[in-house]
C-alpha cells in the first residue's frame, strides 16, 4: 500500500466548524480513524486547512464515507481534498496530541 498525503484548504472555513466536525466524528465513533498516520488542522489567512497522512488511498476512501456527510452538514458542500503520493513519512516520538 502506498501512503498518501491529503490536503484540504477550505476558503472561509473556521476553527468552530473544524471543532464541530471533530465532535461529530467522535459521536460517530471515528475519533481515531483506521488508517490515519497523522493529522494537523490549522488556520491560514482566509482559509482553514487540514493535512493528513494516510496509510493508503483505500483507507482514506473508507473514512470518507463518514467524513463527507459531516463536511456537508457543517457547510463544506464542495470541498474536495488534493491527494498526493507520499515519498517519505517520519513519525516523531510523542505520547500526546498537541492542541
Are β-strands 4-11 and 36-44 bridged in parallel, bridged antiparallel, or unpaired? unpaired
pLDDT higher than threshold 70 for residue 96: no
Grade residue 21 by pLDDT with cuts at 50, 70 and 90: very high
CATH of 4-85, one of 3.40.50.970, 3.30.70.100, 3.30.1360.120, 1.20.1740.10: 3.30.70.100
Domain regions of the chain by residue span = 4-85
55 burial via Cβ count (<10 Å: 0-12, 13-18, 19+)? middle
Residue-wise pLDDT for 41-77, tens only, equals: 999 999 999 999 999 999 999 999 999 999 999 888 7
| Whole-structure pTM value | 0.87
Mean pLDDT of 16-28: 94
Task: Convert the pLDDT of each residue in 25-41 to its tens digit.
Answer: 999 999 899 999 999 99
At 35 the pLDDT is: 96
- What does the pLDDT read at residue 80? 87
Amino acid at each position: 500500500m502506498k501512503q498518501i498525503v491529503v490536503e484540504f484548504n477550505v476558503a472561509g472555513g473556521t476553527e468552530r466548524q473544524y471543532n464541530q466536525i471533530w465532535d461529530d466524528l467522535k459521536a460517530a465513533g471515528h475519533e481515531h480513524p483506521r488508517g490515519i498516520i497523522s493529522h494537523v488542522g490549522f488556520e491560514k489567512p482566509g482559509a482553514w486547512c487540514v493535512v493528513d497522512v494516510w496509510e493508503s488511498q483505500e483507507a482514506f476512501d473508507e473514512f470518507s464515507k463518514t467524513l463527507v456527510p459531516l463536511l456537508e452538514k457543517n457547510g463544506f458542500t464542495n470541498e474536495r481534498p488534493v491527494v498526493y503520493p507520499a515519498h517519505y513519512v517520519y513519525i516523531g516520538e510523542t505520547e500526546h496530541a498537541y492542541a
